[in-house]
Amino acid sequence: VYTGCNVENSSFGLTCCAERVALFKAVSEGEGDFLKLAVVGQENTSVLPCGACRQVLFEFTPDITIITLQNNRIKSYSLKELLPEGFRLQGKRKKDKG
């Protein structure tokens, strides 16, 4: 289990969402196979990954399941439901060894 938090910045484009923080932390520690991502927020809010997070997740792990709490009910989505036409360069992403 890897956790993350939003790292806010005055320039919103430089903010790093919790989903990417957790993913990058796991990758930096040698992980490469991801099955599920749980996303939670403040009480009574519905939280799903933003477009940037969806694209990054797609490049690392297109078959991941996203789990979230919506209206006090646990819901799960495939990443393909949330990003049906994700962009990928030719070939599969390879982890850097370094």
CA-based nearest residue to 79, from 56, 46, 54, 59: 54
Is 95 inside a domain boundary?
no
Give residue 72's domain range: 12-82
Is 8 catalytic? The answer is no
Is 37 inside a domain boundary?
yes
Is 93 inside a domain boundary?
no
Q: Indicate whether 75 pLDDT > 90.
A: yes
For residue 17, what are its two tokens? 């969402």
Is 87 inside a domain boundary?
no
Pick the catalytic residue: 19, 29, 31, 81?
19
Is 2 inside a domain boundary?
no
The number of domains in the chain is 1
Is 28 inside a domain boundary?
yes
pLDDT tens digits for range 23-40: 999 999 999 889 999 998
Is 58 inside a domain boundary?
yes
Residues pairing with 75 in the sheet: 68
pLDDT tens digits for range 42-61: 777 778 999 999 999 999 99
Burial class of 79 by CB neighbour count within 10 A (0 to 12, 13 to 18, 19+): buried
Q: Indicate whether 90 pLDDT > 80.
A: no
Cβ-contact 87, 55 below 8 angstroms: yes
* The pLDDT of residue 98: 47
The model's pTM is 0.81
Is 24 inside a domain boundary?
yes
CATH of the domain at 31: 3.40.140.10
Residue entry with tokens 């799960």: 76
CA-based nearest residue to 79, from 67, 65, 69: 65
